[in-house]
Structure 1
Amino acid sequence: MRIGLVSDVHSNSPALESVFEELERLGVDRTLCAGDLLGYNAFPNKTLNQLIENNVTAIRGNHDEAIVTETPSNFNIPAKRAVDWTRRQLSDEEKQYLKDLPNKRRMSIDGKDVVVAHGSPTNPVNQYVFEEDVTPSALDHWFSSKPDIVVLGHIHRQFTKSINDVKVVNPGSVGQPRDGDSRSGFAVWNTEEGSIDLHRTEYNIDKAARRTRAVLPRELGDRLSEGL
């Protein structure tokens, strides 16, 4: 099987559309999302519809959590404004969809044990896990019984790392990359070969940025072309 891995879509429907086109071209069988479906950008309703229509198996990220609970005091001003604005755009049904998402999943896919968390497996909503944080001792802390693959999000940066037969991957951000590359990030896991390939794809940044600037702080639209 080929499994699409995405994260941090952040209400960027034009970016998600391009990623889905690439995933279809690459022949994926299903897609997992490591959280932060919404926030930051200006297409929350369409983004949710795209994820649902494509049968994406998702979890809740910290921005999703903020939208359906309350805006955290530690969010910066643009993030707070985006969360508050997004909350007002959602129907009760859409809010319930976010509320019903778990903050972590552990499942079997093609005989492989898979964990999906936005932050870390022990702090699934809020902890930042960078590539250098993935160590044998971290895996020992996270798991008493180790899975085959761990899918993380939250940092908006891509990496894949293998430690003692455990593969840890962050597919990067679909909707707001922060590694200097403005293209959407995603990954494809081949369960038979055991390979994980990181991908980037271009999308209509001008369309996303123009709409975001119209309703949200200008810097949120501006940063899309900078990949920061």
Structure 2
Amino acid sequence: MMTAILTDIHANREAFEACLAHAERLGATRHVLLGDFVGYGADPGWVVDKVMALVEAGATAVIGNHDLAATGGLRTPMSAPAQRALDWTRAQLTLAQSEFLAALPYEVEDGPLLYVHANAWKPDGFEYIDGVVEAGRSMRATKARITFCGHVHQPAVYHMGINQRVEHFAPIPGSALPLSAARRWLVLPGSCGQPRDGNPAACYALFDEVTGLLTTQRVPYDHPAAAAKVRAAGFAAPGDLSAIGR
């Protein structure tokens, strides 16, 4: 079974549509959505409706910190650009959409796989995995052999052997990587809706559960249109669009 794993869509309809179409062309039959469906982008209602439809069709979804904030459940402060977007977003969501987001779980275990937005040691704390120390902490906090995380907007893969040493590398888009059963793995697919590595192409990952092959993907999309929608919505201050279409 080929699974498309998408995260940090951030209300970016153009990026989400492009990644879903790309994954379908490559044979994906299942979807895992790792949260942050809203925030920053201008199409929160459309994106949440699409996520709801995918979940209804069998997809797995978890909540992100922006989703929690949009429904009033996040107690930690957000950055000024994020808060402006969230204040605008709340007014765009219907009650049904807000209730759907609020009801999403923090993590989902699926056999040897764990799906979570930020990390495995405190899924509701939304601390970042910034390097091998945090990656190791997350892998040691779960029995899952492979953890898929969002929250970090750049693709990365970490692995840990029996010696407990954690190593990191940046995956090559389009190049299949075998996730050996002899190691523990932590995969960050990168952001679908707001990559932050200087490349505006959307990120997602494909995982083949039969072969154990992981392939990260970069998908070009109409990022000028997505940025124009944010400007038209009126909640973006100068600099807020630096990660869209640069």
Same fold, judged at TM 0.5 (above): yes
Greater alpha carbon shift after TM alignment, 78-87 vs 209-218: 209-218
1:85: which partner in 2? 88
Greater alpha carbon shift after TM alignment, 212-221 vs 150-159: 212-221
Q: Is 1:158 equivalent to 2:155 in the alignment? A: yes
1:2: which partner in 2? 2
Q: Does the C-alpha gap of structure 1 residues 138 and 54 become closer, same or farther in structure 2, counting only changes over 3 Å?
A: closer
What is the SS of the residue equivalent to 1:31? strand
Q: Which 5+ residue runs of structure 2 have no aligned equivalent?
A: 162-182
Q: Residue 209 of structure 1 contacts residue 222 of structure 1 at CA under 8 Å; is this kept in 2?
A: no
Normalising by structure 1, what TM-score? 0.90
Question: 1:69 deviation in Å?
Answer: 1.3
**How many residue pairs get matched?**
219
Distance (Å, rounded) in 2 between the aligned partners of 1:95 and 1:129: 27
Could you say what the CA RMSD is over the residues aligned between the two structures, in angstroms?
A: 1.7
Question: 1:161 deviation in Å?
Answer: 2.6
Amino acid of the residue matched to residue 139 of structure 1?
Answer: M
Q: Does the C-alpha gap of structure 1 residues 190 and 151 become closer, same or farther in structure 2, counting only changes over 3 Å?
A: same
2:49: which partner in 1? 49
Pick one of 87, 93, 97 that aligns with 1:94: 97
Amino acid of the residue matched to residue 214 of structure 1?
Answer: A
Name whichever structure is richer in helix by fraction.
1
Q: Does the C-alpha gap of structure 1 residues 73 and 120 become closer, same or farther in structure 2, counting only changes over 3 Å?
A: closer
Q: Residue 19 of structure 2 contacts residue 219 of structure 2 at CA under 8 Å; is this kept in 1?
A: yes
Q: Residue 135 of structure 2 contacts residue 186 of structure 2 at CA under 8 Å; is this kept in 1?
A: no
- What are the within-5 Å matches in structure 2 for residues 167-186 of structure 1? 167-186=185-204
Q: Which 5+ residue runs of structure 1 have no aligned equivalent?
A: none
Greater alpha carbon shift after TM alignment, 119-128 vs 12-21: 119-128
1:122: which partner in 2? 121
Pick one of 210, 214, 220 that aligns with 1:196: 214
Q: Is 1:221 equivalent to 2:241 in the alignment? A: yes
Distance (Å, rounded) in 1 between the aligned partners of 2:215 and 2:105: 26
Greater alpha carbon shift after TM alignment, 87-96 vs 154-163: 154-163
